[in-house]
Structure 1
């Protein structure tokens, strides 16, 4: 049984190889800078939308509180499932959902503090004071650390990709709605941060991959066979 579960993780290798290849092409073509240039010029060569009510207060701060509320609601339901008969059958799926969202968020946050990369607004190219140092480039020892990679705020949305897997195991006809919700929240939060100058597009793509990987891997161990 354990071997079968480990074998079910093999698709991760293929997906990650394809993703890394795509990111290499992404870097060569300079897609991050092309998009950031467009957004920056659109705002008059400044990050005019950095501190607006919608981007900063509603979508950035409000988005964090929304994701936190969803996490607490999941935890509450999980606790109730230990005593409430109606929720008993959902105990394992709820445990999976809480675990997948928590691990995804913690993993993204950990990587942010281990890997130093600048936000667009930090760069000289966009009115900042620092030069760009790529993900695989050697960072000068005197250069201050920066926690802009991967996209932390977008992860508050993309962690909920786990809804697809939990619904596929419990209410299969709703699994696509769960995926749309997770992707929709992540896209909303990610685009908001790009408009503010806080992240490049590739930062969000890495976040999606990390969150999907966690959700996929944990689903193989914590959830029963399901429709994908």
Structure 2
């Protein structure tokens, strides 16, 4: 492959990899700056009868919260196992670095979201007086936020959005499937996130910031580990 073709492919992939992040950031501005978070959550809360009636529902709690988190963890363990196999099987050698990238990207993304969530001053909807709780509402830009609310960004949604790294994984090993990888990460994150919104556990912007963090981690790690091999 000529250097000109390699550069063209690299520019194309770099450009298309920016659009999801741009869209997420614009949506976050609308949700926080124009209080779209409250508009959307008000409607969910009213639809559930003025209380979080789905908070303990078996589908959203047992299946889409607990069960989905376990599936994501098992998927990560499967990737880790495949990487370990690639260390001892010569036939899997070409997959070693991409699999290592995928395992590391998912782990770092979920860990970073978890760390930020642990020190976050923002509350969950169910903690707010507006939605049956006791706390006053503050947005991300509000001064004087009190004790940590441990609710931003969305930890559970990150267990789905972390798999956005599949876009870059497939860009390396099966370029034609990279958009399928993107859809897997987006789909899992959206389902996980909506389940938590229905329980009153998160605002929509919490999910979007989790997605943006996961995307940045996946893209940055790709540039460090895989992009040079594609040049």
SS of equivalent residue, structure 1 residue 82: helix
For residue 158 of structure 2, give the secondary structure of its aligned residue in structure 1: helix
Q: Deviations over 1:94-145 (max 9, x none)?
A: 11001110110011011101222100000000000100122122335xx442
Q: Kindly report which structure 2 residues correspond to 1:47-196, keeping only aligned pairs within 5 A, or say none.
A: 47-139=52-144, 143-196=146-199
1:84 CA displacement: 1.1
CA distance in 1, matches of 2:160, 2:19: 25
Cα distance in structure 1, aligned partners of 2:178 and 2:222: 13
2:24 is aligned with 1:42: no
SS of the residue corresponding to residue 141 of structure 2 reads coil
Gaps of 5+ in 1: none
Residue 60 of structure 1: CA displacement? 0.1
Asked if structure 2 preserves the Cα contact closer than 8 Å seen for 1:162 and 1:182, the reply is: yes
TM-score scaled by structure 2?
Answer: 0.87
Show CA shifts across 1:143-193 (max 9, x none): 442111000000000000000101111011111111111111000000000
Tell me the TM-score normalised to structure 1 length.
Answer: 0.88
Q: In structure 2, list runs of 5 or more residues that go unmatched.
A: 1-9
Please give the root-mean-square deviation of Cα atoms over the aligned residues, in Å: 2.5
Give every structure 1 segment of 4 or more consecutive aligned residues whose post-TM-superposition deviation is greater than 6 Å. Answer: 8-18
For 2:17 and 2:182, locate their aligned partners in 1 and report how far apart those are by CA, in whole Å. 18
Q: 8 Å contact 2:167–2:181 — kept in the other structure?
A: yes
Contact 2:79 2:99 in 1 (8 A): yes
